[in-house]
Structure 1
Amino acid sequence: MKLRVLGSGAGGGFPLWNCCCRQCSAWRRGELDASARTQSSIAISQDGRPGDGWLLVNASPDLPQQIGATPALQPGQAGEQPIRAVVLLDSRLHHVAGLLSLRESRELEVYATPLVFEDLTSELPLLNVLESYCRVRWRMLPIAGDTRSAAFEIPGLPALSFAAVAVPAQAPRHARLRSDAAGECIALQVQDLRSGRRLFLSPALAGVGEAELACMREADCIVVDGTFWTELGLRDAGLGAVSASDKGHLPQRRHGEQPGMMDVLLASGAPRKVLTHIHHSNPILDRRGPQRRELQEQGIEVAHDGMEIEL
């Protein structure tokens, strides 16, 4: 199995176009040792060889730029389209707006839960718009009510098995209020049937309970929410009083009695641990900063655009 991180930034990427916080400003002045980041998206293939199909996990608004930087996702000489399907883990704007950039497709396979499909045909009707340009096939991931996980397959990727798992999340701003949040956000489990190796992928996590930790403990590689360093990171960066929890993310550092993502990753025992979906205020962006060194000492990596992972 091969993963390519197309985008590793949170909403807006890094630097944020209209932000003058310390980190965005320092990067523009050439004073911060950090990589620019497009918005969060990942591609998965069986082997990553020429002609292999790829699954997109979330569709970033930066998708055209990301495809342009990734030859494996570009059409072949005979016009073959390497992108076989899109799995949407939630309906956050920066995870779905890139669907509009795929409107030239003859047919688009979109895997999503009923709640995400409802959002994208009502509150944020991107799929309705897409239907005017290409045929859209919705493949339902039946996470709803008491159903918290569901196995599924992607045609063209027979060596990989997939499972959607409900995880704690905050509803997007555009979503209507609802009493049943199952399917609001999912994590993705992927197993290579040849090697047996497993991936756990969840760019947005409001918390980690026993169910989520159990999934992580089965994984050989975890790629997970790295949005904020601390619970009050936005306040400390001068960007408002909203907390990480208010935004629906578990920060890396412990907050009071609440374990942080670092605690969770260490408890998982996974051989490889990677943070993605990094907010522009998060000090782990600074490759020379003490926060990045702390992660390195714990064996935790920070994803970057173009990062490749083989399992």
Structure 2
Amino acid sequence: MWLQVLGSAAGGGFPQWNCGCPGCRAVRDGSRPARPRTQSCVAVSADRQRWFLLNASPDVRSQVEAFPPLQPRAGRATPLGAVLLTDGELDHTLGLLLLREAERLEVHATEAVAATLRDGSGVLATLERYCDVDLRTVVPGVDVPLADGLTYRAFDVPTTKRARFGGGPLEGRVVGYRLTDGRSGRAAVHLPGMQRLTPQVRAEIDGCACLFLDGTCWDDDELIRLGLAAKTSQEMGHLAIGGPGGSLEQLAGLDVERTIYIHMNNTNPVLLEDSAQRRTLTDRGLDVAEDGLEVKV
């Protein structure tokens, strides 16, 4: 299977329009090596003919234009098979509204995410006014066929992050996807949002050929120290990479061939290619996703 990184940054992209943090300044003025990034979205395919989106970012139009295999070949017939949502966050779902010209759009989401999109943000309710939405309910732990031998199994990623739009079920608010190529049996895991690396989540990661992992912040208090927010990374629903108990420390011992951090916030120093944090990842054989990266599993 092939995975194409269409966007690799967290909400707001890199640089973020209203931010003057060291990273955003560097990418604007070229004072340090850093590459612009659009908001997190990955495309997956078993044959490079039919593609499935893992989330739909607000930058999805420009991302499709930058990746010819996703563009229509004739008329308005596109290679897009479906959109698989990991959560109901705006940076992962607003792109659905940019796909509203489709006659029919297949969307996979848990009941909790679908409820958020319909009764909370209103994204799904709005989209349904424009096109036929084929909503497929994602049930964690169930294997689901997509196309050409490609299957997925969603798994619950527990979170205590405050639900922005109120109540609803806790289970299924955030999920990861384990994608398997039936011909080779090899798997990739897409996990752009993770608050804790629980034993259940570790079990889903273990043994995969490629892991796209939440890389939002390097330090838990990163935004607080920069004076940009009053919340820690953990309070925003993301496990920091560095520090005691960070994902970098917890990855040790897991059987994963390749780990690629994705969904980096604009404040994360790993986006600066000459930073000590970036060298730490490189020295340990870990990667930082960038727009346009292709991975063959």
**Which region of structure 1 is more displaced relative to structure 2, 56-65 or 166-175?**
166-175
- Per the alignment, residue 146 of structure 1 pairs with none
Is the Cα contact below 8 Å between 1:33 and 1:288 reproduced in 2? Answer: yes
- Per the alignment, residue 24 of structure 1 pairs with 24
Q: Is residue 2:191 matched to residue 1:205?
A: no
1:21 positional shift:
1.3
Instruction: Please list, as runs of the form range in 1=range in 2, the aligned pairs for 1:226-237 lying within 5 A after superposition.
Output: 226-237=215-226
Q: Is residue 2:283 matched to residue 1:286?
A: no
- Per the alignment, residue 309 of structure 1 pairs with 295
Is the Cα contact below 8 Å between 1:21 and 1:238 reproduced in 2? Answer: no
- Per the alignment, residue 87 of structure 1 pairs with 84
- Per the alignment, residue 37 of structure 2 pairs with 37
* The one of 253, 270, 277 aligned to 2:256: 270
Q: 1:29 to 1:189 in 2, by over 3 A?
A: same
| AA matched with 2:4 | R
Question: How many equivalent residue pairs?
Answer: 297
The TM-score normalised by the length of structure 1 is 0.92
Partners of 1:247 and 1:55 lie apart in 2 by 27
Q: 1:170 to 1:47 in 2, by over 3 A?
A: farther
1:173 positional shift:
5.1
* The one of 150, 174, 188 aligned to 2:142: 150
The TM-score normalised by the length of structure 2 is 0.96
Structure 2's unaligned 5+ residue stretches are: none
Instruction: Please list, as runs of the form range in 1=range in 2, the aligned pairs for 1:189-200 lying within 5 A after superposition.
Output: 189-200=178-189
Is the Cα contact below 8 Å between 1:92 and 1:172 reproduced in 2? Answer: no
- Per the alignment, residue 131 of structure 2 pairs with 134
1:126 positional shift:
1.4
Q: CA RMSD in A?
A: 1.4
Q: Is residue 2:57 matched to residue 1:60?
A: yes
Structure 1's unaligned 5+ residue stretches are: 144-148
Is the Cα contact below 8 Å between 2:161 and 2:236 reproduced in 1? Answer: no
Moved over 6 A (4+): none
Percent identity at matched positions? 37
Is the Cα contact below 8 Å between 2:8 and 2:264 reproduced in 1? Answer: yes
- Per the alignment, residue 101 of structure 2 pairs with 104
1:30 positional shift:
1.2
- The alignment partner of 2:52 has SS state of strand
Q: 1:86 to 1:182 in 2, by over 3 A?
A: same
